Amino acid sequence: MITAIRQDNPYVLLTPGPLSTTPTVKGAMMRDWCTWDDDYNNLVQEVRQKLVSLATPQTDDYTAVLMQGSGSFSVESVIGSVIPKTGKLLVLVNGAYGQRIAQMAEVLGIATTVVHFGEVSPATCEDLEATLEADTSITHVAFVHCETTTGILNPLAALSEVVKRHDKVLIVDAMSSFGGVQMDVTELGIDFLISSANKCIQGVPGFGFIVAKRTSLEVCAGQARSVSLDLYDQWATMEKQGGKWRFTSPTHVVRAFHQALIELEEEGGIAAREERYTLNQRILVEVMEGLGLQTLLTRDVQSPIITAFRYPDSSNFTFKELYNRLKEEGFVIYPGKISAADTFRIGNIGDVHPADMERLVEVIARNRFWV
């Protein structure tokens, strides 16, 4: 029997985060750190610098802020801190995470316009352009780059060009793409890019981060609608106190993330990681399609991050049965998350390699209980 079970973990997580991490990333958490100590704060500063370098070669124009909590905490810190009371947010939605941005804005009392694109279609420049032309009171635009609801990849460069041509502040939720898909925030004109420790950088959960254009962040003093999630104050404290967080930081998680950044560099950077993720996804899809399973999305909008598959046309199929059989053989996958179709999802990111995907598809081929 082929199995993916590893000595350090009972199964491979084929999810969009948390995800499988290396033994060395996990091992980095075996030491305790003091949040006031220079050794720890210097490490925080190094992490911030590395993040900016990953995002753009124009490092003087951008800065990085780390924020406690899951990635959604960082998204809410941006939404609640960078839009003034007189501002108005436009959210492009084609999945659960774009909808979450809109929900945050509504709860925070921010004037918001939402444009929906369904669950299986990318956001379009035509609708974005038309909305911005029709409503000049919009000051900020937000959308998700890779919607892990389905695995769809929105056209980041094209959408960004429209936003910047209209001179709006651009917020990009790159939660599941940053570190796994190449991008340059300067070239794209992104003001605030948001991601999380436990995604393509391959760290563990505990904090998110924002790569921000300095001039865009500097005007946000006093705008936050939360104390704990005040993005400007968090940044100002880290800047003035050499990496110090305002409140207790997830020290072990930060140390693991630092190790993950080193391992990203050793792999060959984002280009090499994107190549591995893309190969993982290609192996998966080619075999699954050969077994008669259909992807939810067409290839032209499919990201290398996570793939949604339609349920096979069989009354014998249940997701629970598939999940349990795969878990028994060392793999954990995700249920679907859309209303338009019955789907399940398989992630391609984390410490997952082509050999893992080859073992996975062999297991699936052998366990076609629904046939």
Q: Which domains does the chain have, with CATH numbers?
A: 12-16+269-366 (3.90.1150.10), 23-265 (3.40.640.10)
pLDDT at 314: 87
pLDDT at 8: 64
pLDDT at 6: 57
Distance of alpha carbon 195 from alpha carbon 207, whole angstroms: 9
With beta carbons less than 8 A apart as the criterion, state whether 297 and 235 touch: no
**pTM for the complete prediction?**
0.95
**Helix (H/G/I), strand (E/B), else coil: 169:** strand
Residues with pLDDT less than 50, the chain = 1-3, 5
Closest by CA to 197, choosing from 297, 102, 91, 72, is: 72
With beta carbons less than 8 A apart as the criterion, state whether 150 and 119 touch: yes
pLDDT at 174: 98
Continuous segment of H or E residues that includes residue 344? strand 343-347
Q: What would the pLDDT profile of 14-46 be if each residue is shown by its tens digit?
A: 998 899 999 999 999 999 999 989 999 999 999
Closest by CA to 294, choosing from 277, 317, 311, is: 311
Distance of alpha carbon 280 from alpha carbon 121, whole angstroms: 23
Report how far apart, in Å, the C-alpha atoms of 19 and of each of 85, 109, 160, 170 are.
Answer: 38, 34, 29, 28
